[in-house]
Amino acid sequence: MEFEVVFLPEGKRCRVPEKTTLMSAALKGEVDLAAICGGKGYCGKCLVEVIEGKVSPLTDHEKKRVPKDKLDRNYRLACQTYIEGDVTIRVPDQSRVGKQRLVIMGKEPPVQIVSNVKKVYLELPPPSLEDPTADDERLLAGLSAMGYQNLTIDTPAAREMPRILREAGWKVTAVILGGREVIALEKGDTTARKYGLAVDIGTTKLAVFIVDLNDGTIVYADGTMNPQIKFGEDVISRINYASQGKERLEEIRGAIVEGINGLLDAGIAEFEMSRDEVYEAVLVGNTAMHHLFAGIDVKSLGLAPYAAGLGRSSDCKARDAGLAINPAGNVHLLPNVAGFVGADAIADILASRLHEKERLSLLMDVGTNTEVMLGNRNGIWACSTASGPAFEGAHIRCGMRAASGAIEKVWIDSDFRAYYKTIDDKKPRGICGSGIIDAVAEMLKAGLIDTSGRIQQVGGGVRDGESGREFVLVPKEETETGKEDIVITQDDIREIQKAKAAIYAGFMTLVRKGGLDRRALSEIIIAGAFGNYIDPKNARIIGMIPELPLEKISFTGNTAGSGARLCLKSLDVRREAQIVASKVKYIELAVQPIFEEEYINAMYMPNSQLEDFPETMREVKAPRVVRRYVRR
């Protein structure tokens, strides 16, 4: 039996079988609904209001996760609620992912173009009764005379060859891939048109770059949310989904391929090029994203010892991968280091040139997971920490992703007045990662919390809430909905402490395992979209990063995408990637007693910098774009 589900306020409708969850119905109906924990009911971000209709009874899990005032108004967790009849639900703004702000560009060092794709123009003598040489032999002989030996011809290209040669009057351009294979023949001289595709598959975002392989310029760049988010916003949720069988694996693989092709189509349409003129693609991503794109079984990534299925770099035909570039084109995947340090980390290293540094340097790609890489030209140690969920809004009472209306900057003055800036300067909907880091640092500087993270006495904006003390950052009158205050709770602070402690403890574990001296650290390089918006002073104050002068801290943006472009443009860098991957020393933190020890120590807030902010002298001057909240 099927029932109709209506989603308000859009009015979208779909029919689903009985006992389908509201979350699954939203997925089928293409309704924007947050699924940070992948439908496990842990994050509490998929709250919906049941307007009318029959659904399953309230679960004990929901009674614990849904605030009492919302339970009274018939709010439910979409992932825990099953449909038992026709139903109408409302998806509030707070439960939507929204249009997220994405960072797709990153710093990229110059590189000499050594493309894997060659285009050679030939003018061949036509066959005659005196010289009836076969077309393939005639073509290969012409290429041999120009220095291209022992070539083969891709089968579909061979099928079209007789027609193209004759229609072109024997004046053609041969497209040679890897110095081994002719993958296409084109009429006339097309050597000036040669493009490649670089792709960064992030857990949250998807970025594509169309690159001119003649001069290395980026002719098109765009990004979007990774469409796999509908299967779960974290890596483990997607691994679990894909591990349920080949059909599920192919479904989640197809989502990312469709996303890449959609962005590619937009670039091709804008620049009036042909798909067939894009001859190669280079892709990077963490190990899970890499495997899901390649269609590799990911069960091993979710179980100890978390071994990758494919470590070395790999290549396949575009037609086999489903990418909408030249079907005979090459798709190159960079190597992975381990189950939780993947090809994107190698791309970060290549773009930042960490492996060439003379002095000890720290590279952090802060995202859903934070890859921590410490080293120089003498060697690199690496680990991965599960920091992202809190920074992306999971387990934070009013947390959300970095979308329009998210509070991204926070200031608190000595009178406990709060100032904030939202993305797109919209009315606040919640608080994103950079904002929550600011809020915790500002509360520490203002004396609202101590170095253990404990919220101090009631007063000065602090009140007793349902689950303990909380700081009112924005009163409900100033919010988009006008219904609820935006607060920082004691539990929120603990979540941020756990996330920042994991990052710092990862760094210290690498220091100790590598026998290194942390005092020798010369610079910190912060990569990743989220890292781009972190206030380094506040990150340092809460103990998320080591204490170095601010001028020693740099932000490089999406260096994973930069590394992919470097490997697209240069075979030398591509070979370098495999060498770097083989020399990175990976540390699995889950089995390191050192990590547990450092993690406990890092839970505390460092107090060495608080003297720079004496309470009697602290003063905040809010920029014009910042909204001001004055307590009464």
In the chain, where the domains are located: 2-95, 117-187, 390-497+609-629
Q: In the prediction, which pLDDT does 53 show? A: 92
Q: How confident is the model at residue 102 (pLDDT cuts 50, 70, 90)?
A: low
Contact 301, 291 (CB under 8 A): yes
- Residue 192 burial (10 A CB sphere; 0-12, 13-18, 19+): exposed
Contact 599, 143 (CB under 8 A): no
Highest averaged pLDDT of the listed ranges 27-31, 439-443, 606-610: 439-443
Cβ-based neighbours of 64, under 8 Å, separated by 6 or more: none
Question: Given a cut of 60, is residue 626 above it in pLDDT?
Answer: no
* CATH number given to 117-187: 3.10.20.880
Q: In the prediction, which pLDDT does 99 show? A: 57
Cβ-based neighbours of 169, under 8 Å, separated by 6 or more: none
Ranges 89-103, 105-119, 520-534, 592-606: which has the least confidence: 89-103
Question: Given a cut of 90, is residue 346 above it in pLDDT?
Answer: yes
Q: What is the pLDDT of residues 292-317, one digit of tens each?
A: 999 999 999 888 888 899 999 999 99
Is residue 126 reached through a cis peptide bond, with omega within 30 degrees of 0 on the bond before it? no
Q: How does DSSP assign 494-560, residue by residue?
A: HHHHHHHHHHHHHHHHHHHHTT--GGG--EEEEESTTGGG--HHHHHHTTSS----GGGEEEEE-HH
Contact 486, 479 (CB under 8 A): yes
Q: Which of 362, 374, 376, 406 is nearest to 539 (CA)?
A: 362
Matching fold, domains 2-95 and 117-187: yes
Cβ-based neighbours of 582, under 8 Å, separated by 6 or more: none
Q: What is the pLDDT of residues 152-203, one digit of tens each?
A: 999 999 999 999 999 999 999 999 999 999 999 999 999 999 999 999 998 8
Question: Given a cut of 90, is residue 30 above it in pLDDT?
Answer: no
Domain 2-95, CATH number (from 1.10.260.40, 3.30.300.280, 3.40.50.10490, 3.10.20.30): 3.10.20.30
Tokens representing residue 61 in the block: 């899990």
Q: How confident is the model at residue 480 (pLDDT cuts 50, 70, 90)?
A: confident
Q: What is the pLDDT of residues 347-356, one digit of tens each?
A: 999 999 999 9
Angle at 486 between CA 483 and CA 489, to 5 degrees: 130
Average pLDDT taken over every residue of the chain:
88
Share of the chain above pLDDT 90, in %: 62
